Structure 1
Amino acid sequence: MPQPGESRRRAAGRSALRTVGRVLVVWAVSSATLALLAGILPDFTIEAPGGDSPTRIALTAGAGAGAFGVLSALVWPLLVRALLLVPALLLGALVFFLNGSLLLIALRLVPDGRGEVAPATAVVIAAVMSAASSATSTALAVRDDAVYGRRLARLAGRRRRHAGDPPPPTAPGTVFLQLDGVGHDVLHDALTCTPPAMPTVAHWLGGTHRLTPWRTDWSSQTGASQLAILQGSNHDVPAFRWYEKETGQVMVCNRPSSAAELERRAVARTGSPGLLASDGASRGNLFSGGAEQSALVMSVAVRAGTFNRPRSGYFAYFSDPANAVRTAWSFSAEVGREILESSAARIRGDRPRIKRGGLYPLLRAFATVVERDVAVAAVIGDMLAGRSAVYADLVAYDEVAHHSGPYSKDARKVLTRLDGSVRMIADAARYAPRPYRIVLLSDHGQSGGETFEGAYGVRLRELVRSGCGLVEHGRRARGKGGAEARTAARAALRRPERGRRAEEAECAGPTSEPIVLASGNLGLVTFPDIGGRATLEEIRRRSPDLLDLLTGHPGIGFVLVNSAERGPLVLGPGGGEHEVATGRVVGPDPLAPFGEGAAAAVLRTDGFPHVADLMINSACDPVTGAVYAFEEQAGSHGGLGGPQSRPFLLHPAELPLPEEPLTGAEALHSLFGGWLAGPRAEPDRDPLPPARDGSRTPSSTLG
C-alpha cells in the first residue's frame, strides 16, 4: 500500500502533468490562431518573403504565440497597475493598444524577423488571441474544480491561500446584491413567466429563497434607500436633489462630494460606521457602509488618501486582458443594441418618447456592461477572500428602464443578463473558503407613465414661475439622458464634478426667484430669499395664485406646505386638505390615491431640516399606477405613486423576517444588521441552486 507521502507526491505529479498539458494546449490554440490570422489578414505575415514550408510557418507561429503569452503573463499585470494613475474608464480602451504593443514586441522576438504586422492590425490580432486563449483555458479548467477556483481567484485579483494562513471562518458570509430599480411586481413577473426571464433566480424562489415586498420612504430613490440600508439613517434626505438655503448649494445624492457629506451626516447621527464595518466590502455603491474594502463607491471618491481605491476594482478586472476583450465586445454590442432598440421604439411610436441619442448609448453601455462586469468580478474576489459581508449595486436595469419603461422588452432583456451575473456569483461561491448566503434586493421600483411635459406641454418650472407671476426667460434647459450613469462615468474618468451651484443656476434666475428641482415625479420648490422654511401664509401673500394653480392642475396629486397656523398641510385637487400631524382631512383626501402609509411617509419628510418650501408629488393613476415624471423619463422614481414605492427582498429561507411589514429603508438596515450579527444558523443546503454543470454541489451554500 502506498505511504501517505508517496500518495501526495503522486498527486502532485499528476497535477503538474495536467498543468503542463493545459499550457501546451493553450499554446497550440494560440499558435493556430496566429497562423490563421496571418493567412487571412493582408498586412500580417509570419513567413519569409520567398515563402516558407508549413512546418516553418507553424514553428514561427508557435514562437510568436509563446513570446506573446510570456509577455502577457509577466508584463501585463505591471502595466495595468501603473495605469491606475490613468482615468479608470480609459483603462479598458488602453488595454487593446497595450495588448497590441505586447504582440508587436513578441513578433520582434521571432527568429529571422519573420513576424511583421501593421500596428493597427496588431491590436486586432492581440484581442483575438487573448479571447481564444482565455476560452481554451476556461474550457480545460471547467471540469477541474481546483483549477477553476484558482482561475477565479486570479481573475478577481485575489491571492491563493497558503499553509500558515489563518483558517477561514466557518460561519456563513452574506452577499447582498442590489438589483437597482427592480420593483417587486417586475421581479415576480420575470420569475413566474414561461419561460422565466431570470431562470437562476426563478429556481431559488420557493426553494432556497423567499420573496417579499417592502415599502420605501417618500423619497423612493437610490440615495435615500441605500444611505439608510448601509449607514442606518436617511434623515434629512428629502429627494434625490435639493437646495440648502444656508449654503446656497444643491445637494445631489450621486455626486461624490454630496455622497461623502451625506455619509458623514449619517455616521454622526447614528454613531455607527455602517453595515459593512466588520470585514465588509462595498462595490459600485453610492456609500461605503463603513467597509474597509471599497471600489467604485461615490462617497470615497473624494477622500484624501484614496486616490487609487475607487479604481482598484478596475485593476482587478482588467489585469487579465481577456476580460478587457470580452467587456469591449459586450460594450460594442450594447451600443448597437441601444441604437436598434431606440430606432424600433421611434418606428412603433412608443410613448412616452424619451430622447436616447447623443452620448446616451455609450452611457447605457457603461452602466450595463462595464460597471456590471467590474462589480461582479469584485464580488467574486471578495467571496474568495472570505469577507463576512459584501454589498454591491448592479444598476443596469434602472438605467434602461428610465428610458424604455419598467415593463418594456428592452428592460426585460436586461433582467435576463443580470440573471447571468447572479448565476456567475452563485457559482463562484463554490470555491470560497466559507459558505455564503446570497440576498437579492432592490432599493426602489419604477413607475411608468407619460412625462409631465409630454402630457401637458409645460414643465413644472414653467408652471411654478407662471404661478409666481414670472415670465420664462432664456432657452429651455434640456434634460440629459443617463444622468446616473453619466455621473458614474465622470467619476471613472476622474473628471471634476459639476459645480455644486450649477444645477441651481439652471433652475433659477435671480435669488428672489424660486428654485425648482425634480426627482422623478417629486418636485421641490424653494424660495431662497425667505429665511428658514417658507410658510403657507407667506407664500400666499407673495404669490396668491401659485398654490391654487398647482393643486388645480390635473398632473399634480398633492402639495406639502407648512402652515404657521395648522402645521404640515397637504393640499390637493378639489380643495382637499390633509393635516398630516393631526390626521384631520377636509374635503377629498389628497393622499388617498397613494395608499396606506403615505401620510406617515409625508409627515416624516416634513420633519427634515432641508425639506423644500413646497414638496410637489405628481398625480397617480390608482388603477395602472402611472405617474407623471417631472424629468424626461419613461420610468421614474423618487416620489409616491405606483410600483416605485414597492421594491423587493429575496432572502434565504432560514433568515427570519419581522412579523410587521418592512416599511422604510432604515428597517432593512436593522434587519440586515441582525442577520450579520447572528445567531449564525447553518444554512440550508438542500435544495441548492445548480452548479455550472447542472448538478447539485454540496460545497455551494446559497441559503
Structure 2
Amino acid sequence: MGDGRWRTAGSALMRVIVVWAVSTLTMLALAGILPDFQLQSDDGDSITKTAFTAAWGAGAFGLLSALVWPVLVRALLIVPALVLGMLVFFLNGSLLLIALRLIPDGRGAADPQMAVVVAAVMSAVASATSTALAVRDDNAYRRRLSRLADRRRRRSGRDDGADGGPPGTVFIQLDGVGHDVLAQAAADGLMPTVAHWLADGAGHRLTPWRTDWSSQTGASQLGILHGSNYDIPAFRWYEKETGDVMVSSRPASALEMQRRAVVRTHDGGLLTLDGAGRGNLFSGGADQLALVLSMAARRGKGRRSRAGYFAYFADPANAVRTALSFVAEVGREIGQSTRARIRKETPRIKRGGLYPFIRAFATVVERDVVVAAVMGDMFAGRTAVYADLVAYDEVAHHSGPRSRDAEKVLARLDRSLALIVKVAEHTPRTYRIVLLSDHGQSPGETFAGVYGLTLKDLVRAGSGLPVPRRAQRTRSGSEARDAVRIALHRPVDGDLQENLANPSGPVVLASGNLGLISFPDIAGRASLEQLDRRHPALLSTLANHPGIGFLLVRSERHGSVVLGRGGVLVPVAELRDGDGPLAPFGAGAAAAVRRTDTFPHVADVMVNSMYDPETGTVHAFEEQIGSHGGLGGEQARPFLLWPRGMTDPLDAAAAEGEERPAELVGAETVHRVLRRWLNEVSGPQVPVGQTDRADGAGAGAGARG
C-alpha cells in the first residue's frame, strides 16, 4: 500500500513537472514571436537567465490559475452567465500580468492586450498536456477517478455500490432530432458513433416513438421525466382563471408545470434515486442539478441556475476554449446566413440581431457545460443521469432540419457522444448510454411568409378587428433563446405578459405549427355557438384557409368538434385516423386530439396548420422554417436508441396486466420504459412521499408564470 502511494505521488509529481516544462517552453516561444511580450531586461539576458524567467512566470501563472481562478469564477456567479463568458479573456490575462509582476527583477512585461493572447495560449497548452498525460497512463487515471468517486460518496454519506455494482444509466436527449434524421445522419457517415452503435452486432437498437399532439420539449420532457404531461396543450398557453400565459421555457412556469405533474403522479420523477439533471427544463426529482430551468425560479444553496457553470469554468483552459469556440460559431453563423441570402435559398428567415449569439450559446456553451457535467457525474458513479443537448434544435429552427448547417451540428454532437463513450471506459462503474429525442422537426415556409399575414392577423380579420397593413412578425420561441434571456437576467416573454394585462380582442399564441386562440372575456371554454354569435365569420375564415389543416372547438350541440374546409364538422368522439380533416396527419392523430380535448386549459380554438404528406411540410405560426409543436410530419416522430440486453421498449411499456403495445405512443409511455430500465438494475425509484428530492412537490401555486 505504501509503495503504491509513493508511486502514485511520484507519477503525479512527474506530470506537474512535465506540464511546467511545456508551459515554460510555450512562454519562451511566445516571447520570441509576439512583439509586445518580453522576458528579458532592456539590456538583454543570457539564454539561461531568460529560461529561468520563463520558468518562474509559467509556474506563477499555473499556481494562480489553480488557486485564484476558481475563487474568481465562484464570486462572479452573481453576474449573468454570458457576461461571465465575456470576462474570461480579461480575467485570464489579468492573472498573467500578476504572474509576470512576481518575476524577480521585473523581467517579465506585456501589454494588456497581448497578455490576453499569451494567457489563452498557455492555458490551452497546459490543459492539453495535462489531459494527454493523464489519459496516457490508463491505470493511474482509473485509480484517480475511483478515489474521487470514493471521496464523494463518503462526503455524501451514501453507498451506491458504484465499484463493481449494478450499472448506471446515462440518458442523452438530442433535442429536436427526428428518427429519420438520425438514421440518415448515421448512414451518411455524419455520426460515426451512432453508426457504430447501429452496426450489426454492435449492441444498440433504434426505434421511433410518437409524441402527443403538443410535439415540443415542454410536453415531451415533462412526460419523460415526471410521468405526466396532462394539461400541457402547447409550448405556451393562456389560463383564463388567472390571466397568465404559461411558457414552458420560463422558469416560474416550468416549476409550476413540474409541481402539477408531481401532484398528479404522487412521484418525484425519474431521477429521484441518486440522479443528476443537466441542461433540462425539469428536474426529474434529481438531487444533482445544473442548468435546469425549473430550478432557476428557486432560491437557496444549489438552486441557482448559473451555479452549473462553475464546475466547468473553474478551469481557465475550459473557459478559454469555450470562449474561442463561441466566437468561431458566431462567425460561422454570420457566414452561413450571408451565403444563404446571396444564394437566395428558400425557405429562409431573418437570422440577424442576437441570433448568432443565441446559436453560439446553444451549440457551444450549453453543449460544453452539459457534456462536462455528465462526465463528472459518471466519474462520481451516479446511478442515473439525464441531459439535454439543444444545439440541433436551435439551428434547425432557423436553417431547416435537413440543412447543411444542421448536419454539421449533428457531426459535432456525435463527437461529444464519442467523448462520453471514451470516458465511460474509465469510470468506476459500468454505464449504459441511452440516446433519445423529445420530438423531431418538420420543414416548411412560415405561415406569414406564404400568406403575407400572421395567424393573429387572420384571427383579427375574421373577428372584424383592425389588422396592421404590414404583417407583424411572430417572435420565435425556443429553449435556447429563452435560456440566453435568463442568462442575461431578461424576462422570458415579458412583453407578451405586459400586453395581456389589458387584452384587446382574442389572445393568439403560437407553438410551432400549432395555434391557440383564447377569448379572455368569455368565462370558461368558449363554444362554437358563442363564437358564431360574436364573430360570425371567424371560424369559417380559419377552417377554410389553405394554410390551416383543422380546428378543435367545443360545441354546445355536438360536444367538442373538429372543423375542416368546406364546412366539414366531425364530433371528436367520431374522429378516425385517415378520415375527414385528420386524413393527412396519419396514425394516432385522432387519439392525440381526443386526449388534448380533455385538458382543463385547452384553448377556446386549437388551430393546426396544413400538412402536405408528399413534401412533409407544415407552416409554422412562428418565425421558423423547421418547426414542431403540432401534428404533421417528422416533428411527431422522435427516436429511442438503447443498448441490447435491456428490456425491449414495447415490453417495458406494457403496464401490469396489459398487452404489449404495437408502438410507443406518448411521452408518458417513454417514461414507463426508462423507469423500467432503471428499476431492473437499481430497484424501485424513490416515491415523492419518502424523499425531499422531488423538487417540484413543495412549490406552491404562487410559483406560476
CA distance in 1, matches of 2:22, 2:152: 27
2:338 is equivalent to residue 350 of structure 1 = no
Amino acid at match of 1:330: S
2:412 is equivalent to residue 417 of structure 1 = yes
CA distance in 1, matches of 2:680, 2:105: 67
2:422 is equivalent to residue 427 of structure 1 = yes
Q: Deviations over 1:541-583 (max 9, x none)?
A: 1111111111111110001111111111011123333222234
Query: How far does residue 654 in structure 1 lie from its aligned partner after superposition?
Result: 1.4
Structure 2 residue corresponding to 1:26, chosen from 13, 19, 30: 19
Query: How far does residue 157 in structure 1 lie from its aligned partner after superposition?
Result: 11
The DSSP-based 3-state class of the residue aligned with 1:590 is helix
Query: How far does residue 486 in structure 1 lie from its aligned partner after superposition?
Result: 2.2
Supply the RMSD in Å over aligned alpha carbons.
2.4
2:142 is equivalent to residue 140 of structure 1 = no
**Aligned CA distance change for structure 1 residues 627 and 295 (closer, same or farther; 3 Å):** same
For structure 1, the 5+ residue unaligned runs are 682-703
CA distance in 2, matches of 1:44, 1:153: 42
Structure 1 residue corresponding to 2:162, chosen from 168, 171, 186: 168
Query: How far does residue 197 in structure 1 lie from its aligned partner after superposition?
Result: 0.6
1:66-81 aligned at under 5 Å gives the runs: 66-81=59-74
The DSSP-based 3-state class of the residue aligned with 1:49 is coil
Amino acid at match of 1:253: S
CA distance in 2, matches of 1:677, 1:157: 23
- 1:96 is matched with 89
- 1:673 is matched with 675
- 2:703 is matched with none
2:642 is equivalent to residue 648 of structure 1 = no
**Aligned CA distance change for structure 1 residues 521 and 152 (closer, same or farther; 3 Å):** farther
- 1:335 is matched with 330
CA distance in 1, matches of 2:233, 2:274: 31
CA distance in 1, matches of 2:244, 2:329: 36
Amino acid at match of 1:136: T
Structure 1 residue corresponding to 2:248, chosen from 249, 253, 267: 253
- Matched pairs, number: 667
2:52 is equivalent to residue 59 of structure 1 = yes
- 1:218 is matched with 213
**Aligned CA distance change for structure 1 residues 410 and 559 (closer, same or farther; 3 Å):** same
2:609 is equivalent to residue 592 of structure 1 = no
**Aligned CA distance change for structure 1 residues 647 and 180 (closer, same or farther; 3 Å):** same
1:201-240 aligned at under 5 Å gives the runs: 201-205=194-198, 206=200, 207-240=202-235
**Aligned CA distance change for structure 1 residues 457 and 636 (closer, same or farther; 3 Å):** same
**Aligned CA distance change for structure 1 residues 591 and 509 (closer, same or farther; 3 Å):** farther
Q: Is the 8 A contact 2:235 2:511 kept in 1?
A: yes
CA distance in 1, matches of 2:263, 2:153: 38
Q: Is the 8 A contact 1:29 1:133 kept in 2?
A: yes
Q: Deviations over 1:206-258 (max 9, x none)?
A: 42110000000000000000011111111111000111111111110000110
Q: Deviations over 1:97-156 (max 9, x none)?
A: 2222221111111111111112222122111100111112222222212444578799x9
Identity %: 65
Is the deviation greater in 87-96 or in 116-125? 87-96
Q: Is the 8 A contact 2:442 2:634 kept in 1?
A: yes
The DSSP-based 3-state class of the residue aligned with 2:580 is coil
**Aligned CA distance change for structure 1 residues 588 and 25 (closer, same or farther; 3 Å):** closer
**Aligned CA distance change for structure 1 residues 165 and 115 (closer, same or farther; 3 Å):** farther
Q: Is the 8 A contact 1:294 1:309 kept in 2?
A: no
Amino acid at match of 1:91: L
Structure 2 residue corresponding to 1:662, chosen from 648, 652, 664: 664
Query: How far does residue 588 in structure 1 lie from its aligned partner after superposition?
Result: 6.4
**Aligned CA distance change for structure 1 residues 554 and 474 (closer, same or farther; 3 Å):** closer
CA distance in 2, matches of 1:107, 1:276: 48
Q: Is the 8 A contact 1:84 1:308 kept in 2?
A: no
Query: How far does residue 188 in structure 1 lie from its aligned partner after superposition?
Result: 0.7
2:614 is equivalent to residue 623 of structure 1 = yes
Amino acid at match of 1:94: L
Query: How far does residue 384 in structure 1 lie from its aligned partner after superposition?
Result: 1.2
Q: Deviations over 1:318-370 (max 9, x none)?
A: 11111011111111111111011111111221112111001100000000100
**Aligned CA distance change for structure 1 residues 566 and 448 (closer, same or farther; 3 Å):** same
Q: Is the 8 A contact 2:36 2:114 kept in 1?
A: yes
Amino acid at match of 1:492: A
CA distance in 1, matches of 2:116, 2:362: 25
- 2:403 is matched with 408
**Aligned CA distance change for structure 1 residues 482 and 35 (closer, same or farther; 3 Å):** farther
CA distance in 1, matches of 2:681, 2:18: 49
- 1:572 is matched with 564
Amino acid at match of 1:88: A
1:483-632 aligned at under 5 Å gives the runs: 483-499=478-494, 502-503=495-496, 511=503, 513-583=505-575, 589-632=580-623
Q: Is the 8 A contact 2:295 2:303 kept in 1?
A: no
Is the deviation greater in 161-170 or in 519-528? 161-170
- 2:121 is matched with 128
CA distance in 2, matches of 1:120, 1:134: 22
Q: Deviations over 1:486-531 (max 9, x none)?
A: 21012223444453xx31555x796451111110000111111000
CA distance in 2, matches of 1:294, 1:340: 36
- 2:75 is matched with 82
CA distance in 1, matches of 2:599, 2:354: 36
Amino acid at match of 2:632: G
The DSSP-based 3-state class of the residue aligned with 1:640 is coil
For structure 2, the 5+ residue unaligned runs are 651-659, 684-705
Query: How far does residue 82 in structure 1 lie from its aligned partner after superposition?
Result: 2.3
Q: Is the 8 A contact 1:574 1:588 kept in 2?
A: no
**Aligned CA distance change for structure 1 residues 48 and 157 (closer, same or farther; 3 Å):** farther
Structure 2 residue corresponding to 1:318, chosen from 313, 317, 328: 313
Q: Is the 8 A contact 2:205 2:644 kept in 1?
A: yes
**Aligned CA distance change for structure 1 residues 640 and 165 (closer, same or farther; 3 Å):** closer
**Aligned CA distance change for structure 1 residues 52 and 679 (closer, same or farther; 3 Å):** closer
Q: Is the 8 A contact 2:101 2:108 kept in 1?
A: yes
Q: Is the 8 A contact 2:453 2:472 kept in 1?
A: no
**Aligned CA distance change for structure 1 residues 165 and 108 (closer, same or farther; 3 Å):** farther
Query: How far does residue 482 in structure 1 lie from its aligned partner after superposition?
Result: 6.5
Q: Is the 8 A contact 2:145 2:427 kept in 1?
A: no
The DSSP-based 3-state class of the residue aligned with 2:616 is coil
- 1:701 is matched with none
Query: How far does residue 20 in structure 1 lie from its aligned partner after superposition?
Result: 2.8
CA distance in 2, matches of 1:320, 1:482: 32
Q: Is the 8 A contact 1:157 1:316 kept in 2?
A: no
Amino acid at match of 2:666: G
CA distance in 2, matches of 1:432, 1:495: 39
The DSSP-based 3-state class of the residue aligned with 1:210 is strand
CA distance in 2, matches of 1:391, 1:272: 17
The DSSP-based 3-state class of the residue aligned with 2:581 is coil
CA distance in 2, matches of 1:385, 1:224: 31
- 1:363 is matched with 358
- 2:695 is matched with none
Query: How far does residue 475 in structure 1 lie from its aligned partner after superposition?
Result: 7.4
CA distance in 1, matches of 2:139, 2:615: 52
Q: Is the 8 A contact 2:306 2:487 kept in 1?
A: yes
Amino acid at match of 2:46: S
